[in-house]
Amino acid sequence: MVCRLKNGDFLHDLAAVSPHHGAHISSAGPVRHLCPIYHRLELVECAGHGRGPAGGAVVSIRRPVGPIGRDDPHGGTNHHAFLRLHGGPYRFALQAGHRRRHRRPGFSHDPAVQRPRQPPAVMTGSRQTSLTFYHAWSSSASRKVRLCLAEKGLTYVGKALDLGRFQHHSAWYKALNPSGIVPCLLVDGLALVESNLIDEYLDEAFPEPALMPDDPAARYEVRRWSKYVDDVCLPAVQKPNWTRSMYPIAKLWSDAELEQRLAAIPTQERRDLWRRMARNPFSEAEIDAALDILEDMTLRIEAYLENSSGPWLFGHRLTLADLHAAPYVIRFEEERPGRLRPLTARWWDALRARPSWSTAEIGSYEDDSARTAAEAIKDPA
C-alpha cells in the first residue's frame, strides 16, 4: 500500500505491505530527512500497492521489534524508527527512540549504500510470509481461495479437514475459526476466515497480479457479484452437495450419535442442516430447484460477458468475480452438463485453461470429496 506522509513541510513516500501489520522503515530516501524525534505524521495519500517511488522507503511486514539505524541530517542516527498502520480511518504514528550522535564505522550518508543495522524481512516477489491453509478439497469456498492463491503464485501448507468426521467442528479448529466452517487461512499465525474476505486480503497483501479492477465502481460491482454468489448460489449448491456427500454418512448415526454431533456445531443453521441430512434429506424436486438457481447464475454470467470489454466478467483483467463463480459453475456442469451459453462456455474453457486451475487442483465433486477424507490431517493432540 503506497502511502504519503506529511511532517511539517516535508512529504515522505512510504510503501507498506499490509494494514494488518506494524512495519519498520528498511531503506533510506525521503525518510532520512525526517526530524530525529517524531510525534505524529499526517496521512496525505494512501492508495495502491507496491514499493513506492524510486528512492522512497520500503517498509517491512515483520514484527515491529529490534533497532534500525537511520541516518539523519545532523550526522547522528535515529534509532528504532517504527511505522504502524491503525485500522480505518487510517492514522499513522511514527515513533522514534534516542538519537546517537556518533556514526557507525562504515556507515555512509549516500542513500544508495545505506543499510539497516538489522535488515528486516522485506516483502518481494520472491519471498512471502508464512501461509497455512485449512480447507476441504470439495468445498466451494475452499476452491475460491485455492484459485486466488494459485493466481497469486503463492505457496502454502495445505491441511485438509474431513468434514464427515466433523474435524471442522473440533475444539482446536473452532479456536481458529469459531464458526466451524472451512476455509481458514493462517497468515503468520493470524487466522483469516470467510472466503471472499480472505481473497480480498490476499489481493491487498500480495498485489501482483491484481485481481480487482482499478475503477472504484467496478470494484463495487465485483464485491456485489461475490455477495450474490455467497447469498444465493452457496445455499443452492449445498442441496446437491450435501445430499451426495453428507447424507450417506449422517443417515447411519443413531439418535444419540446425532445429538452428540449436533452439540459440537456452533451455529443453528448448520445444526438444522445436519439434522435434516440425517433424517429428512432434500428431495429431487428441491435439488432441481437449487440447480435452477445455479443455471440462472450462468445466465447472469452470459449477460455480464455480453457487456464486457474483454474475455472476463469485468473486462480484460481476470478478477475475483471470475474466480468466485468458478466453483459453482463446475458443480452446475457436473449436474447439468452441456447447458452453458456460448460466451459462458468460452469463458469457462479459458478459465480452466489457466495454470491456476491445475495448480488449485479442482477435480470432480465426487473425487474431491473422497480425496478430502483420504488426505485429512490428524487432529492435534
The C-alpha cell at 147 is: 484459485
Most confident of 2-16, 88-102, 169-183: 169-183
Is residue 18 within 8 A of residue 131, CB to CB? The reply is no
Computed over every residue of the chain, the mean pLDDT equals 76
Is residue 164 within 8 A of residue 373, CB to CB? The reply is yes
* H/E run at residue 197: helix 195-205
Residues of the chain with CATH 3.40.30.10: 131-375
pLDDT at residue number 243: 96
Q: Is 157 helix (H, G, I), strand (E, B) or coil?
A: strand
The whole-number average pLDDT for the span 144-168 is 98
Is residue 57 within 8 A of residue 51, CB to CB? The reply is no
Q: Which of 1-5, 49-53, 341-345 has the lowest mean pLDDT?
A: 49-53
Given a cut of 80, whether residue 74 has pLDDT beyond it is no
pLDDT at residue number 129: 86
Residues sharing a CB contact under 8 Å with residue 87, sequence separation 6 or more, in sequence order: 19
pLDDT at residue number 2: 40
CA angle 27, 32, 36 (to 5 degrees): 120
- Put simply, whether the predicted model's pTM sits higher than 0.75 gets the answer no
Class of domain 131-375: alpha beta
Q: Is 361 helix (H, G, I), strand (E, B) or coil?
A: coil
**What residue type is 166 in one-letter code?**
F
pLDDT at residue number 381: 66
The whole-number average pLDDT for the span 54-69 is 31
pLDDT at residue number 99: 32
State how far the Cα of 381 lies from the Cα of 108, in Å rounded to an integer.
Answer: 53
Instruction: Tell me the pLDDT tens digit for each residue of 297-324.
Output: 999 999 999 999 999 999 999 999 999 9
Higher pLDDT, 63 or 283: 283
